[in-house]
Amino acid sequence: MRPPLRLAGLTKHYGGSAVVDGFDLELEPGRCHGLLGPNGAGKTTTLRLALGLIQADAGTVELLGHPMPARARLGRQKVGVVPQVDSLDPDFTVRENLQTYGRYFGLSGREIEARIPDLLDFAGLAGKADAPILNLSGGMKRRLTLARALVNDPDLIFLDEPTTGLDPQARHLIWQGLRRLIGQGKTLLLTTHFMDEAERLCDVISVMDRGRVIARGSPRELIASHIEPHVVEVFGDGLAEWKACAGDLCHRCETAGETLFCYTDAPDKVVAHLEGRPALRYLHRPANLEDVFLKLTGRDLRD
Ligand code: ADP
């Protein structure tokens, strides 16, 4: 089957430097693909290139079989977009927002009206069709933005940080919705700064930095191939002194703020040593995607 999105050698320069630099990507239909990277890595620019909103300096984009941006209108016909910042019209009701958006895709008022109950049901907004946008909570607006992205029954959905700024309850509702979409066979391309979100939802993840892919695989593959399986986080009084022993007890140590991260495949040795230091506190846990991300992209702030 044809990939819903194919990017080959994609390159874009701003101010003389490449912010997307020879980027290749082929999405598999019916899968959720994550695009992770620190701020400024080039994720949003990649999404904008993929949607044909900006022109690449080199490389090609094929969106649902259409070359972009040459056939942008056709390419985007069966694509849904959840942008980073909600762009709902605050002067309109929920229904009017869906109606306006649906018309961009050439849908008739009657066609959109027929879809509204399902869309609102999906978004947990049943009964809110006539509510003004100003009366909705942040979580409701985000869910409406997701519902709006589905108005044209898309095959491929771009989600740019869909849960940023939401509380845990609202995030879980969005995740439930996204899993339903994956279950229906939709293809998702998701950017997020939440590694737990990527780990839960994504089948394949591309880690991006400085415009390039620096690692790709399923969450499990990335963890297995880039990082030791166990982490012991150590903090508390006497850490500075204990650090001197840590190097002999584990494979790799990293300091972040007041915590020492000990990466190892033999955590018992580290934990046994810590048992003799009651002033130190520790947390032993399996390595996760965030550990991989920090190892690959570093712990320094990017903006
Ligand atoms: P991310 O989404 O990963 O945070 P972006 O794609 O937004 O990264 O940005 C990548 C880099 O390109 C950043 O350094 C950003 O400042 C720069 N950039 C993005 N858009 C523009 C633009 N329209 N003009 C100039 N520089 C831009």
At residue 297 the predicted structure's pLDDT band, cuts being 50, 70 and 90, is very high
Instruction: Find the DSSP H helices in the chain.
Output: 43-50, 72-76, 94-104, 109-122, 138-149, 168-183, 195-201, 219-226, 239-249, 267-275, 289-297
Residue 298, pLDDT score: 86
Give, in order, the Cα–Cα distances in Å from 286 to each of 201, 246, 264, 265, 270. Answer: 19, 18, 10, 10, 14
Q: Ligand 1: which atom is nearest the Cα of residue 47?
A: 6
Q: What is the pLDDT of residue 246?
A: 87
CA 120, CA 82: separation in Å to the nearest integer? 16
Atom from ligand 1 closest to the CA of residue 48: 6
Tell me the pLDDT band of 302, cut-offs 50, 70 and 90: low
66-75, long-range: CB < 8 A, 24+ apart: 75/51
Question: Is it the case that residue 197 has pLDDT exceeding 70?
Answer: yes
Distance CA 140, CA 214 (A): 35
Minimal CA–CA distance to 202: which of 25, 14, 27, 18? 27
Mutate to test the pocket of ligand 1, among 7, 13, 14, 17 (most ligand atoms within 8 A of CB): 14
CA gap 108, 103 in Å, rounded: 7
Residue 174: how many CB atoms within 10 A of its CB?
Answer: 23
- The alpha carbon of 159 and the centre of ligand 1 are apart by a number of angstroms equal to 17
Give the model confidence (pLDDT) of 132-149 as tens digits. Answer: 999 999 889 999 999 999
* Token pair of 223 as six digits: 């963890």
d(CA 269, CA 191): 38
The third-level CATH classification (topology) of the domain covering 228-286 is Alpha-Beta Plaits (3.30.70)
* Residue 301 reports pLDDT greater than 90: no
Higher pLDDT, 15 or 302: 15
pLDDT for the residue numbered 36: 97
Average pLDDT, whole number, for the chain? 94
Query: Strand pairing partners for 264?
Result: 230
Atom 12 (ligand 1): residue with closest C-alpha?
A: 19
Structural domain boundaries in the chain: 5-223, 228-286
At residue 96, the pLDDT reads: 97
**Predicted local distance difference test score (pLDDT) of residue 169:** 87
Q: Is the shortest distance between the CB of 40 and ligand 1 below 6 Å?
A: yes
Helix (H, G, I), strand (E, B) or coil at 42: coil
Q: Which tokens in the block code for residue 189?
A: 């391309």
| 201 pLDDT above the threshold of 80 | yes
State in Å: Cα 18 to ligand 1 middle.
10
Residue 92 CA to ligand 1 center (angstroms) comes to 31
**pLDDT tens for each residue of 52-99:** 999 999 999 999 999 999 999 999 999 999 998 889 999 999 999 999
Whether ligand 1 lies within 6 angstroms of the CB of 14 is answered as: yes
- Does the Cβ of 211 fall within 6 Å of ligand 1? no
Atom 27, ligand 1: which residue's CA is nearest? Answer: 14
Average pLDDT score over residue span 256-284: 94
Look at the domain 5-223 and name its fold. Answer: Rossmann fold (3.40.50)
> Counting atoms of ligand 1 from 1, which one is nearest the CA of 37?
3
Protein residue whose Cα sits closest to atom 20 of ligand 1: 45
Average pLDDT rounded to a whole number, residues 251-260: 91
- Residue-wise pLDDT for 212-232, tens only, equals 999 999 999 999 999 999 999
Distance 295 CA to ligand 1 centre (A): 23
- Determine whether the shortest distance from the Cβ of 12 to ligand 1 is under 6 A: no
Tell me which H or E stretch contains 6: strand 5-14
Residue 303 has pLDDT above 80, yes or no: no
| pLDDT reported for residue 170 | 85
DSSP 8-class letter at 133: G
